[in-house]
Every structure is written in C-alpha cells, then in structure tokens.
C-alpha cells in the first residue's frame, strides 16, 4: 500500500515538469527579446553611425535559448522558431511598428539615427544591442 502512495506522490510532483509549454509564439519574453533584436538590426542597417554590440547580441541569444529550455522547450523547438519564416516576418513587422511608434520615418535615415540614439540613452532592450559612433 505504501508503494502505491509513493508512486502517486512521485507522479503528482513530476506533473508540472511534464507539462507542455504553450506555443513559442505566445511566450512573451522570447518574443520581446527577438523583436528587440530585429528592431536593433533595422536601426543599425539604416543608420550609418549605429552598429551592433555583437558580443551582447550573441550573449542575449544564448541566454534566450537557455531561458527557452528552462521553460520546457527543446533546443530544436527554439532553433525552429527562430528560423521559421512566418514567425520572422511577424516579429520583423512588429519591430517595424515599434520603431515607427518611436519616431522612425521610412526613407529618413536621420530618424532612425535619432531613435537609435534615444534607445541607447534610455537603456532599452533595443538600445542595449547597439553602440553609436557619434
């Protein structure tokens, strides 16, 4: 009888670890970090005085993968999500909307520089990925 009790207790304790995480497109932290990366990439490609802090970028991607695995996703899940063309387009579109709300104007390079400088000065997730040569 006590063996059955221990087995049930073990099953109850293990159940949260066996839970399937929600679709990665619904995981806010992962999406926020990737969106920030796309926004930073757009800023650095558009503004000639901004560049990526590549060690920071790589470190944040590594940390994000570790975070995803701690949430119950596999390494393969994470890699597939990052490479999925539909998810990339969605996140790039959201990053573009974020940048436009912050003041960028398509075709106006200086507006991208201003927004990038402001992101750096405010220490936002986007700004943390960039450095300025100004």
pLDDT tens track for 106-130 = 999 999 999 999 999 999 999 999 9
- Provide mean pLDDT across the span 27-51: 97
pTM of the model: 0.84
Is the Cβ–Cβ distance between 112 and 99 less than 8 Å?
yes
Distance CA 103, CA 97 (A): 10
- Provide mean pLDDT across the span 24-36: 97
What residue ranges do the domains of the chain occupy? 28-132
| pLDDT tens column, 61-112 | 999 999 999 999 999 999 999 999 999 999 999 999 999 999 999 999 999 9
Q: Is the dihedral of CA 46, 50, 53, 56 positive or negative?
A: negative
Q: Identify the burial level of 4 via C-beta atoms within 10 angstroms of its C-beta, where 0-12 means exposed, 13-18 middle and 19 or more buried.
A: exposed
Q: In the prediction, which pLDDT does 15 show?
A: 47
Running DSSP on this structure, what letter comes out for residue 72? Answer: T
Q: List Cα–Cα distances, 96 to 3, 25, 39, 40, 103, in angstroms.
A: 58, 18, 7, 10, 11
The H or E element containing residue 33 is helix 28-46
């Amino acid at each position: 009888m006590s063996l059955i009790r221990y087995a049930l207790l073990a099953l109850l304790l293990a159940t949260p670890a066996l839970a399937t995480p929600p679709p990665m497109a619904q995981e806010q932290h992962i999406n926020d970090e990737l969106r920030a990366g796309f926004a930073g990439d757009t800023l650095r490609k558009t503004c000639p005085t901004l560049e990526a802090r590549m060690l920071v970028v790589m470190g944040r991607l590594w940390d994000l993968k570790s975070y995803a695995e701690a949430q119950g996703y596999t390494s393969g899940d994470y890699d597939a999500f990052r490479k999925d063309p539909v998810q990339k387009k969605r996140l790039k579109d959201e990053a573009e909307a974020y940048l436009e709300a912050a003041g960028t104007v398509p075709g106006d390079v200086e507006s991208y520089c201003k927004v990038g400088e402001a992101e750096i000065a405010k220490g936002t997730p986007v700004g943390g990925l960039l450095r300025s040569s100004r």
